[in-house]
Amino acid sequence: MLLQDVLFSQGFGTRRVCCGLVQQGLVALSGPGMAAPQPGQPLPVDDANFRFDPEGVTLHVQGQPWPYHAQAYLMLHKPAGYECSQKPGAWPSIYTLLPAPLRARPSGAAAGVQAIGRLDQDTTGLLILSDDGKFIHRLSSPRHHVPKVYHVTCKYPVQAQQVERLLAGVVLDDSPQPVRAAACRVPDPARPEHLELTLTEGKYHQVKRMVAAVSNRVEALHRAQIGSVALPSDLLPGEWRWLAPAEVQALRG
């Protein structure tokens, strides 16, 4: 690929902007086949038409390293007080937590990575984002029944019969059939107001409405896992990281 095309694919601007970055001496490369004049330093490149295989290469743009990814797969620990929207209303957008290249990556009809399944502004936890349309469809389509694990803090202690009803199915006003939890338990008897709920659908406010249907109320909601990928304890609210190849493969199913 040409260097200008690689930079464009990663979200560093239009091809004209990318050419300008190269011509101004603001781009260097490190990785396979990039022998720099000084050992341990990236190779400066001033030709926007420089051709190379970008796989495994790190771009250094204005001094900042950026590992090349043909397609973006990442996780974000969503904090409370953020909307999962490109055009938020009263709250800031989760996309402001991401670096500019991820927000500007060209991806079909839309630009930038997209959150796969939204969380309410007051809900925290795991978001998966990508610019791979097939991957997004795989995780978001109800046909694939991708499980999502939620940690729920309820207003009142959760009763055994409430767990049984959630597993058996509750009626929601937008569903002709009862909606069931794939799994439901109170993980710690010493904290009976805490519920772990696993769903394979993604209806609007589903957890809150299901808990309300069994005569309780959600006070706090946190998504801890999607498929086999759990939110790591060392990824703090507002932080993001690339998904490892094994995690991407696991989510593909």
By annotation, the residues acting in catalysis are 120
Tell me the C-alpha distance between 155 and 62, whole Å: 50
Tell me the C-alpha distance between 65 and 58, whole Å: 6
DSSP reduced 3-state for 236:
coil
Q: Which residues pair with 221 in a beta bridge?
A: 152
Tell me the C-alpha distance between 145 and 141, whole Å: 8
Tell me the C-alpha distance between 32 and 26, whole Å: 20
- Joined together, the tokens standing for residue 51 give 């051709």
